[in-house]
Structure 1
């Protein structure tokens, strides 16, 4: 006995007609009649009163009908619950560089979670270079970083360019220049760079920025992370160049100044596997754009090959 036999029988009883049941089930009437005959033969009892108009069940047939309805209902409930569990077990893994958490990434991921409540979302802190390797190995589905690293297997999308700031102690002479400073004004200052992890990283980007302007800072100290860098600045130990979003780190006697040089921006990239146009990839892009719309940040939508263009 199979579920389809139960479904056939319940439909016949409810329609009170083989003809109507066959139409509803989208099968021919003769095969439907044979299925019910086989079911009766398997049970060894007659379920339907032959020749009755409209079709009626026997006493045993009515008993069987009531329990068949319950079994079918339970089967649908099991199917639905299993599908929900399956959805909950799906995992979407995001790689990110730590500094992006001070910006809009947390809002983007929060919105993504709200829109996909049955999807398990995991965050993995990785450098941009590590994200490329993790994408190619299938360990993450998407990455967010700051460095321009090219790979033929990876699609890199520039989301926006974030202005840079200079963190100084409030008693530092530079703190009086509220309009901002240029690189040439700070090249001789003691500066904290971060992170001190494998290159390339954000500290590499700062060194390249100085090089683009023909400047050669001599007093650079690398520390583990941005919180440590601005903590040292607040203690009056030096200064530090940070992305604009780092202004959310507020400490006593800590002051932020705009860095005025035209090329003093930190790009934010989203990276995925090349040609990966899955539903969740498109959805995370859309969450980025929704947050940028709310924040008034300009952007250019990425186009997908297998989906309507954003």
Structure 2
């Protein structure tokens, strides 16, 4: 009997369903059912009442549940004590795209710090393909970004899609428009985007968004970063398409407007190396969804 078998059993008891427990544990239902059957065979006792809805434990199952809780609690306590006693502080480096600091990333990282106080968490700003390269070279342990490109050396999970909005100067003809603006209306505008690097970064995503609709922006300028792009908007030089969370950056004379096109979205990914052992991958992943739950953000929960 292993601790994971106890965790499986406790999850089934608490969820009163093999299906719900499998979802909670991020495993398929058939393997979970087999693990519980094997556990019953090893104990020589039936732990659940067959055919009960919702699922109920037998008297011996209830006794085993209480003992399993104690064992799991003791195991976790021993683990924490051992970590604190013999610990040399470990640093985990997390890369991020600049626009993500305007959204929920700070709260996710703060929660991760609280749950892992023995870790030294260092944030590293990286954009586009630099994130992929930094992961492959081991300069960072995980990355939050918007890069769509796939790489065999990197595991990538899309957390959610974020709506894009239009940033315009308060004197712009669109500034007081009550209706969402279409991409067709923007094709002749001077568009600023970022960052100034080749590859499949955010700037390339914005340009491809126009191309998907058969539109070719006539004046498309790529600058070094988000703040510089919004600064150009504030100076009345042109417009900028940014993720919705960027609205928290209140530049004077910059208005944020809705875009009409449903495809005007930018993905947010969490990426780690394929050879990563995953010691902090799952906890970091869980922190993301704890924050999403608090914010009532819809998402398709996935695992690495």
Task: Give the TM-score of the pair, scaled to structure 1.
Answer: 0.68
Quick check: 1:93–1:140 contact (8 Å CA) kept in 2? yes
Match of 1:69 in 2: none
Note the alpha carbon deviations across 1:24-56, whole angstroms, 9 max, x for none: xxxxxxxxxxxxxxxxxxxxxxxxxxxxxxxxx
Q: Which position in structure 1 is the counterpart of 2:36?
A: none
Q: Cα deviations across residues 125-169 of structure 1 (Å, max 9, x unaligned)? A: 222322222222222211111021111222110000000000011
Larger-gyration structure (1/2): 1
1:219-249: CA deviation from partner (whole Å, max 9, x where unpaired): 1222211111112112211111111011011
| Closer, same or farther: CA 261–81 of 1 in aligned 2, 3 Å | closer
Partner of 2:52: none
Aligned residue for 1:139?
139
Say whether residues 1:265 and 2:262 are aligned partners.
no
The answer on 1:179 being equivalent to 2:179 is yes
Aligned to 1:247: 247
> Is the 8 Å Cα contact of residues 127 and 195 (structure 2) preserved in structure 1?
no
Task: Name 2:67's counterpart in structure 1.
Answer: none
The corresponding residue for 1:106 is 106
Q: Which runs of 5+ in 1 are unaligned?
A: 1-79, 305-310
- Give the Cα–Cα distance (whole angstroms) in 1 for the partners of residues 82 and 244 of structure 2: 46
Query: Which stretch of the first structure deviates more once superposed, 172-181 or 152-161?
Result: 172-181
- What RMSD, in angstroms, separates the aligned Cα atoms of the two structures? 2.0
Which residue number in structure 1 is paired with residue 291 of structure 2? Answer: 291
Q: Is the 8 A contact 2:168 2:174 kept in 1?
A: yes
Aligned to 2:38: none
Alpha-carbon distance in 2 for matches of 1:235, 1:218: 20
Following the alignment from structure 1 to structure 2, what is the Cα–Cα distance between the partners of residues 92 and 85? 20
Deviation at 1:109, TM superposition (A): 0.4
Q: Which residue is equivalent to 2:199?
A: 199
User: What corresponds to 1:89 in structure 2?
Assistant: 89
Match of 1:224 in 2: 224
Query: How far does residue 88 in structure 1 lie from its aligned partner after superposition?
Result: 5.3
1:196-216 Cα deviation digits (max 9, x unpaired): 133332111111111000001
SS in 2 for 1:174: coil
CA gap 1:86/1:266 in 2 versus in 1, 3 angstroms: farther
User: Is the 8 Å Cα contact of residues 97 and 127 (structure 2) preserved in structure 1?
Assistant: yes
CA distance 1:87–1:182, shift in 2 (3 Å)? farther
Question: Cα distance 1:82–1:279, how it changes in 2: closer, same or farther (>3 A)?
Answer: closer
Distance (whole Å) between structure 2 residues aligned to residue 238 and residue 293 of structure 1? 37
- Structure 2 CA distance, aligned partners of 1:194 and 1:132? 17
Structure 2 match to 1:72: none
User: What SS is found at the alignment partner of 2:174?
Assistant: helix
How many residues were matched structurally?
225
Q: Which runs of 4+ in 1 moved over 6 A?
A: none
Shift of 1:301: 2.1
Contact 1:94 1:143 in 2 (8 A): yes
- What residue is the counterpart of 2:233 in the other structure? 233
- Deviation of 1:300 (Å): 2.0
Q: CA deviation at 1:253?
A: 1.3
Q: Which runs of 5+ in 2 are unaligned?
A: 1-79
Q: Residue in 2 aligned with 1:123?
A: 123
* C-alpha distance in structure 1 between counterparts of 2:251 and 2:188, whole Å: 24
Shift of 1:256: 0.4
Aligned residue for 2:94, secondary structure, equals strand
Deviates more, 1:269-278 or 1:155-164: 269-278
Q: Report if the CA contact (8 A) 1:161-1:266 is conserved.
A: yes
